[in-house]
Every structure is written in structure tokens, then in C-alpha cells.
Structure 1
Amino acid sequence: MLVEVIHALQVKENQTYVDATFGFGGHSKEIMKKGGKVIGFDHDRTVIEQNTVTFEKEISAGKLTLIHDSFEHLADHLQEKVAGILFDFGVNSQQIDDASRGFSFQHEGPLDMRMDDRLSVKAQDLIAALGRKELANLFFHYAQESFGRKIADAIVDARKLSPITTTRQLTEIIHNALERDRVRGIDSATKVFMALRIAVNDELRTIERTLPTSLDCLAEGGHIVTIAFHEGEDRIVKNVMKDWEIEKRGFNVFKKPLTPTNQEMYKNPRARSAKLRAFVKNQYKGRI
């Protein structure tokens, strides 16, 4: 949804924009092409290291500043108000495809799932420490997994025999537990892995803590744009932006969130659940 993001940000030359989840830097590259300056945040050390090389020219020219930190601390790093902030929530494709990170059940690797390697708790730690009820609640709350209790029972029984430390181990436990119950649709392993990733990185609560105050970092007339891939993420964004409107701090740009076109979903199936919302600070009401 690159075109829609850039349109929603209303990028202006020589203005500064925050890419709160830098990732590959695709959004930031387009912002800079239009003459904007970017402050990019990412709590993934690998992302920062790689992009320091990739965007060496832009950094040297003062067009880009990269910060190795979570967007939760965004306000601590900004010295002045910015013209726009982009939040692209969730995990990026590079992280998913890197087997050593443990984000995907389709790749063999350690049950890590930390976006920031400075975090102390890995997915395997949650699998080892949480009880049946806690695991089931985690799978249901973060992924709406209807077989959460059955999966939790299987995990607790399996860990009595040996530690669960790899993606393959966990995937086999999930599939074996649901051998008779599996139905068409999203694989339960996808949901369980997503729930663990959200818990390890405290993703939803980080959004809840950060988004409400992010408007204070925005100059008048500035735009906040969000892309959510999870129902919980989008619910938080929707409610925060609704509160802002009630408080008359600005307005929602779109009546309903934008979603990917069929063409984009064909090219990038991982984008199928994306929802884009935008908010303008302290401006007369009028949608773009």
C-alpha cells in the first residue's frame, strides 16, 4: 500500500517525517524521493545495521537519521515537532523469512521471536513457563485460536518429556494435537506463532502506550498514518483516533480504513489483512 501511504502522509519538501517502523525502508525511500527528511526507528539491530549501509548516501546528506530504538520512545528522540508519523505495525518479511529468528513455522529455527535481541524473554521461555490456562488465554486473546486449550494441553504434556526449543518441535505438537480437528482456513500454527510473537514483543501494549501521545509530537496540520495487520492493532488505532476526534484534536482522513487491492494481495499475500488509517491534527474537516 505504498502509494496510499505516501498520499495519506501528504509529503512536503524539506519537512521531517518519522518512520516509526523502518524495516526495509521502502516507505522512507518514497518520502525522501518527494523531498522529505526521515527519522527512522527500528528496535531490530540487524535492520539498523543493514540500512546504515544501504542508505549511506542519504544519511551522509542529512536526509535520513536512523535510531535503534522502539517507537515507544519516539518522543524522547525528537527535538521538534514533525510533519508526519508512519506506524507500520507487525513483523516485516525479512524477519519472517530469516529462520534464525524463529518467527515462522515454515522454517526450522530456534523459538526466539524477539524483534529486539536486547529483550530477555524468548518464545521458548513462554512455552516453558506458562501454565495450560495461561497459554490457552494467550492463543485466544492474541490470535482468536479456537483450539487454544487443546494446543496448550499438548504443549504442557510434550514439555514434560523434553524442552520445546525449535519451531519444528512446536509446529509438530500443534499439528499432531489437531490432527482430527484441522479445518480449512488459517493454519493453527500460524495463529499460535503470531500470538507468541505479539506476547514476546509486547506489541499491543506498546501501541496502547505510544499512539495516544504520538499526536503531541506532530506539528499542526501533520498526518499520522497507521497500517495494522492484526485485529487487536486496528482496534486500538480506531479507538485512539475516535478519542482524538471527540477531543477535537483533528479528524480521520478516511471514513473507513483502506485495504489492499486484489492486485496487491496477489503480488503480496501477506498484505491481505492490512488496514490503513490516517489522522490529521487540528485541521478543518475535509477528507482527501
Structure 2
Amino acid sequence: MTEAVQALGINPDGHYVDATFGRGGHSRLILAQLSRKGRLTVFDKDPEAVRVARELAASDGRFSIRHEGFSHLGELGAASADGVLMDLGVSSPQIDDPERGFSFRHDGPLDMRMDTTRGQSVAQWLEMAEVSTLSEVIRDYGEERFAQSIAKAIDRRRQERGPLRTTGELAEVVAGAVKTREPGKDPATRTFQAFRIFINAELEELQQALEASLHVLRPGGKLVVISFHSLEDRMVKQFMARHSRAVVDRRVPFAEPAPMALAGLRRVMPSDDEVKANPRSRSAVMRVAERTEAPA
């Protein structure tokens, strides 16, 4: 957590964006380094996270909260931010609350929505989703090689016993369909990941937010992204690589290349001490880039 804030290179008088407030760990570290002139804008879809953020905003005029996903990042002014931090995925409080339905370790309602005030839950979606759609989602978002078997098992369960309503019911169906799994990994891990990413349109939102970061970052501003699985990290890596190259217009071969928009700085893996203190960080990858040119 500290490394991510350090990577922003805080200017005490600057404006920073915590695009995924969660419970405010990063935000509090940023605020601790800002002067009275500094500002912090945060985004979050989770109503509980918004409640916590509003309490903080009530006592700190440098801080503002937007109850929406970070795909709305582009609504901030052009070249208005000195740094943008994105900590992707589901937060520990969300995982640990059985009522949210993110974890197969606790039985609870099969929800998985980041924003419980709107949209369709996983349980509602599973009632109507075709087998082909289920298989595609599990394969593409969970990178699950048994996607077809799991999709068919879910369909059999619906026909024989009615809709799936709880995380325990889904985990049981998946365990019966998965033939083998890596040691120490629950059979339901990839399917739960797939349904969560799909129901919250996480990859689509991430793509929009990455593109928007080019609009809001000032030259020299840092983009820091922490991801926890390969789909997210691949998208971030490719985005930073694509915008870290000068662009040649093949239609005008003698024209000067368009300047690169980002300078990819580094990739950071969690230290042994961090993993020991927070085992969930073991799969984290942090990538850092710097805005090089003023937004168009």
C-alpha cells in the first residue's frame, strides 16, 4: 500500500485521484502527504465505501467522493490530476462480508455486485443465462478450462432443483463439475472470479478508465495500477506499452511520428514481508507509468 502511494511521487500542493477508494487505506496515506492546497478526488461504486468516504470528506475539505465507477474518470478536467491510482478487484471487506456474495468460503446470497443499489445480481443473471453464454463467461473471464462442464452442471442444477440462490450452492455445483485443480486452490475460484468480473463489467470499465487517465493526467503525472489477476494485468501492460511508443501514420510516411503519451516506468511485485502481512497480496502486480505529453 505504501509503495503504491510512493510511486505517485506526491506533490503536496497537487491534485490526486484514488479511483478505487475501498475503505480508504491509500487515500489516507495520500492525504497525509498533501498540504492545505492539495486535493484528493476518489471514486467508488460500493455504498459502504461511499459512506466511509463521506465521513472522511465531512472533516477534510481537501477530499471529495464520487459515487460511481472509475470509468467516469474522464469527467474530471483535462490535465487536472498529478496522479491516478487504481487498485483493482474486490476489497477485503467485500470478500469478508458473506452478504455480498463474493466469496465461496462463506455461504451467503449470490450477489457479487460492487454497487448493490443498482444492476442485476449473479443469482438473477444465472436464472436466465443460456448454457453457451455461461460457458463463454467462465472461459473468457475465469480462464477456466472446464467452462463447458461447469455451464452444463449449472443448467442441470437449475432444471432439477430450481435457481441457484447462494454462494454455497454455486460452489457445490462447480466442485462437482471440475475434475482436477491445482493444489491448495478451490475448484470454484475461477468461476467466482468470472461471474464477478462479468456482472460488474470490470474489464470494460478498466479499459475506459485507462483511456481516461491520458485525458486527466498532467505531463509528469503518474499512473499507478495494482492488479490481481492476469486478465487485468495483461490489459494494463498492453495499454502502457501501446502508449509508450511513438506512433507513425503509415498514410503519411515522411511525417514526424506522434509523440508517445506515456513512459512506462516499472513493474513492482509484492515483497515477502508484504505477502506475509497480507496473503491476498501474493498475486498483486503494480505497474507505473508517467504522462509525457499534454492531453489533446
AA of the residue aligned to 2:107: E
1:135-170 CA distance string (max 9 Å, x none): 122112111112222211111000112111111111
In structure 1, the residue matched to 2:251 is: none
How big is the shift at 1:182?
4.6
Equivalent residue runs for 1:269-284 within 5 Å: 269-282=279-292
Q: Which deviates the most, 7-16 or 146-155?
A: 146-155
**Structure-1 residue corresponding to 2:265:** 253
Q: TM-score, normalised by structure 2?
A: 0.88
Deviations 1:26-47 (A, max 9, x none): 1111111111421011011121
Q: 1: distance between equivalents of 2:145 and 2:183?
A: 13
TM-score (norm 1): 0.91
Aligned amino acid, residue 154 of structure 2 = I
| Cα deviation, residue 263, structure 1 | 1.5
The alignment's C-alpha RMSD in Å is 1.7
- Whether 1:110 aligns to 2:109 is yes
TM superposition shift of 1:242: 1.1
Matches within 5 A, 1:26-37: 26-35=25-34, 36-37=38-39
Whole-angstrom distance in 1 between the partners of 2:230 and 2:221? 26
Contact 1:145 1:188 in 2 (8 A): no
Q: Secondary structure of 1:253's match?
A: strand
Structure 1 residue 262, shift from structure 2 partner = 1.4
CA contact (8 A) 1:37 1:63 kept: yes
CA distance change for structure 1 residues 78 and 43 in 2, over 3 Å: closer, same or farther? farther
Kept after mapping to 1: 8 A contact 2:57/2:64: no
Alignment of 1:64-79 (within 5 A): 64-78=63-77
Shift of 1:181: 3.5
One-letter amino acid of the counterpart of residue 190, structure 1: T
Selected match of 1:264 from 265, 268, 274: 274
The equivalent residue for 1:151 is: 150
Contact 2:73–2:212 (8 Å) recurs in 1: no
* Number of corresponding residues: 276
Cα distance change of structure 1 residues 13 and 54 upon mapping to structure 2, 3 Å threshold:
closer
Instruction: Give the partner amino acid of 2:5.
Output: I
Q: Pairwise mapping of residues 10-49 of structure 1 onto structure 2 (< 5 A)?
A: 10-35=9-34, 36-49=38-51
In structure 2, the residue matched to 1:286 is: none
Gaps of 5+ in 2: 247-259
- Indicate which of 42, 51, 54 corresponds to 2:53: 51
Give the Cα–Cα distance (whole angstroms) in 2 for the partners of residues 3 and 68 of structure 1: 25
Distance in 1, matches of 2:286 and 2:72, equals 23
Instruction: Report if aligned partners of 1:224, 1:280 keep a CA contact under 8 Å in 2.
Output: yes
